[in-house]
Each structure stands twice: as C-alpha cells, then as structure tokens.
Amino acid sequence: MTDSEARAEKLSRELDSAFRNRADLYRLFLEELTGKLGAKQAEAIMIRAIEQRGKEVAAVAFASFGANDARAIGEAFLAVSPDGGLMYPADVERGDDHIAFKVKRCPLKDAWVEAGVGDEKLATLCRIAGAFDRGLFEATGVRFDNVTWTPGHGSGCCHIALTNRDA
C-alpha cells in the first residue's frame, strides 16, 4: 500500500468515526433533554435546531439552484457525499424532473444500533437526523419527501425524493 493509499484509508476511518461521534452526541442530547423536558419537547427542540442547520448549509451549497432544479440539486448532493459516497451508499432513481435516493447505510444509524438503542428510540433518532435533510432540501423550494427508518423498514435507512416544484 502506498503512503497516499494508507493516508486515504486512515482519513476514511477518521471521517466515519467523526460521523459516529455526531450520532453519539445526538443520542446523548436526546437523553439529557428528554430527562429535563420530556420526550416530545426534546425531539421537537432537536428537530428545529438540526433542520435550521440544514437550511444554513443549503444557503451556501444550493444557492444557485431553484425550485425546479430537483435533479440538479440531487446530483450536486451526490457529488459531495462524504468519502465518495461510501458513507451513505444509495440506490438512485433519476427522472427528468426528480431524483430519489434509497440510502442503504448510515453511519449515524450504525452507531445507534451498536450503542444498543432500541427500535423506538432508533426511529426517533432517525427522524431527528432526517430534519437536516428536510432543512437542506426544502430550503431550495423543491418538493421533498423523506421516509426515515422505522421498525419493519428493513436494513437500510431513509428514502429521500426530490421533485421539481412545478412537476
């Protein structure tokens, strides 16, 4: 293995670890807020904050796109997917006025499963994490649909669909 390949492999592991750390923070924030405020209010607060972060990212990442650029927005999103798409591998369906992703693996979900989180809490954490995507894509004006993981959803993760506003 060359030095460059070894460095790339190390950076890939470090990136995965950083995303798992983010997952652990979400889990711990949810536990702390639930203890202080109750489950509904804790989830609502986290969703608002994470959705707002998605909007902030969209303002920079998708500033040149409009409400009828769903496919282009989706392609731009895929082009910057962490670790060349390896962190969030997805089956992608493309059409003239839409693009859809069926995410097969999520490092956040992986970390929660490894932490022993039960199905109900796992579904809650997936809803919370999905708020980032909602903020990110709805800020562009396209139609956004997202089905986050729930028990019975299978081994994958969320399913995201973007469609031109006027389609």
Prediction pTM value:
0.93
What is the CATH classification number for the domain harbouring 122? 3.30.1380
Digit-coded pLDDT (tens) for 80-95: 998 888 889 999 999 9
Dist CA 141 CA 13 (whole Å): 35
Mean pLDDT, rounded, for 36-52: 98
Range of the domain at 159: 3-163
**Predicted confidence (pLDDT) at residue 71 exceeds the cutoff of 90:** yes
What residues contact residue 129 under an 8 Å CB cut-off, 6+ apart? Answer: 23, 26, 50, 106, 108, 148
Please give the tally of structural domains in the chain: 1
What residues contact residue 130 under an 8 Å CB cut-off, 6+ apart? Answer: 146, 148, 158
